[in-house]
Amino acid sequence: MIIWLTGLPCSGKTTLARRLVELYGGELLDGDELRAGPFKTGFSLEERRQHLLRMGYIAELLDKYTNVYCSFVSPYETTRNELPIDVLIYVKASVECCAARDVKGMWAKAKAGEIKGFTGYDAPYELPVRPDIVVDTENYSIENCVYMIRDVIQAHMLFCNSRQ
């Protein structure tokens, strides 16, 4: 199963995905890690789209063996609709909350004009139209959000199994 976490930078996507992997197993594909490693790419609309399509393909390959948790900003609805997502999780947190959590200093750099096209600051983030769940990391603990996600994943698995 491919579980895709989308939301603003610093909303808690990776933290949630790591915790889910710790508790339930699976593999994590994380946008920051992959962009820093072998998949360096730009941030134009098309470059973002191509990067996410590549990550979706990798997720499909891994999905044959285990659950795959994909933690990517994924700012555009049209691109998300092209991805092989089984469960879409919108990780909700306000811009102010995300900027306050700014562990890598990215929001501060965007505000200072050092980064152009930063999602949520001077580049758009389109809210998912039909996420399977919205978890509000600003108002709920990571553990509460993890359990809400677990319940949605289990319900999805039961539904898929009942259709076979």
Residues recognised as catalytic: 74
Rounded Cα gap, residues 68 and 3, in angstroms: 6
Rounded distance between C-alpha atoms, residue 121 and residue 119, angstroms = 6
The DSSP annotation for 64-120 comes to TTS-EEEE-----HHHHTTS--SEEEEEE--HHHHHHT-TTSHHHHHHTTSSSS-BT
Residue at token pair 């900003």 = 73
